[in-house]
């Protein structure tokens, strides 16, 4: 991490838990949070659990996020949830372009771009996910993939509009596999992402944008990841479902 950027630790609960379990987990996190903690903590429950989690989090600084958002305002879009609806449910942030959405639901960079634009137009902070597959890494395509995904996601957006965007670098081969990128691999990708952001929006923007690492982040590897200068936090899946483990991730200690 770098002292000039506020770290963010985000939990993506994916399609797990019922409302009662999600509310209990949120309450445990709220109670376990160091009151002096200066960095940001975010949780993204399933849509159906947003109300329970919102209630459990009341009075806490933990940020409520959706796992996705549709780009249309309203209408005949069965299964989709609009920006206004996620705002109404208490979310201030939305994960956009997660690799599971890209792979399982066929989301293209164009779709990701529409969602970015819709979220930003509603003052919702996007947590934009990017990352290469194992085949792409082995074919030395990592940088090309990251460059394409970033250019696609930010197409048509001006510097003034993207000030609050958070980027999550999540190598697909590390998600849910227990194979974390090494801190060096993650740092290398983050440096590249920051350089791309400099090309798109200039040095000041690039120096301020937060880049989270995601992919098998655990209580026992967060400290070494956070010691890297361009890793500004983490997007955590499986480990964010266990209160004690996720609290340890949240309260990381940098190993330098």
Active-site residue list = 98, 170
Under rule CB under 6 A, residue 176 binds ligand PGA: yes
Cα separation, 171 vs 116, whole angstroms: 20
- 220-239 residues in contact with ligand PGA (CB under 6 A) are 235-239
Q: Which stretch binds ligand PGA (CB under 6 A): 20-28, 49-57, 106-114, 168-176?
A: 168-176
Residue 105, classified by CB atoms within 10 Å of its CB into exposed (0-12), middle (13-18) or buried (19+), is exposed
| Closest-approach residue to ligand PGA (CB) | 237
Please report, in angstroms and rounded to a whole number, the separation of the first and last CA atoms in the chain.
10
The residue within the footprint of ligand PGA, chosen from 111, 175, 226, 247 (CB under 6 A), is 175
Q: How far is the CB of 19 from ligand PGA (least distance, A)?
A: 21
d(CA 151, CA 145): 10
CA 189/CA 184 separation, integer angstroms: 9
Residues 6+ apart with CB under 8 A from 140: none
Q: Candidates 49, 66, 149, 216: give the one binding ligand PGA (CB under 6 A).
A: 216
Q: Residue 117 has which token pair? A: 């634009």
Size of the site for ligand PGA (CB under 6 A): 13
Contact assessment for residue 82 and residue 125, using Cβ atoms and an 8 Å cutoff: no
Q: How far is CA 170 from CA 53, 80, 146, in A?
A: 25, 24, 10
12 counts as binding ligand PGA under rule CB under 6 A? yes
Of 7, 45, 183, 214, the one binding ligand PGA by CB under 6 A:
214
Looking at the Cβ atoms of 107 and 239, the one nearer to ligand PGA is 239
Tell me whether residue 7 or residue 82 sits nearer to ligand PGA (CB atom): 7
Interface ranges with ligand PGA (CB under 6 A) = 12, 170, 175-176, 214-217, 235-239
């Amino acid at each position: 991490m770098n002292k000039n950027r506020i770290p963010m630790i985000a939990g993506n609960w994916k399609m797990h838990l019922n409302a009662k379990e999600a509310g209990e987990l949120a309450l445990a996190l709220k109670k376990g949070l160091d009151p002096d903690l200066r960095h940001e903590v975010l949780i993204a429950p399933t849509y159906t659990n947003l109300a329970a989690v919102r209630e459990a989090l009341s009075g806490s600084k933990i940020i409520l996020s959706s796992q996705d958002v549709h780009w249309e305002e309203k209408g005949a879009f069965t299964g989709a949830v609009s920006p206004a609806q996620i705002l109404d449910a208490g979310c201030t942030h939305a994960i956009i372009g997660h690799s599971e959405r890209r792979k399982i639901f066929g989301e293209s960079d164009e779709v990701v771009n529409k969602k970015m634009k819709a979220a930003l137009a509603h003052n919702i902070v996007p947590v934009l996910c990017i990352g290469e597959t194992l085949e792409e890494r082995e074919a030395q395509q990592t940088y090309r993939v990251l460059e394409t995904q970033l250019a696609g996601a930010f197409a048509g957006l001006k510097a003034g509009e993207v000030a609050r965007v958070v980027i999550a670098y999540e190598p697909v081969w590390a998600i849910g596999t227990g194979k974390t990128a090494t801190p060096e691999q993650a740092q290398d990708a983050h440096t590249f992402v920051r350089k791309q952001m400099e090309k798109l929006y200039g040095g000041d923007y690039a120096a301020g944008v937060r880049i989270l690492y995601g992919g098998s982040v655990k209580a026992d590897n967060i400290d070494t990841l956070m010691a890297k200068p361009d890793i500004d936090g983490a997007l955590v899946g499986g480990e964010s479902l266990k209160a004690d483990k996720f609290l340890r991730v949240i309260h990381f200690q940098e190993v330098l």
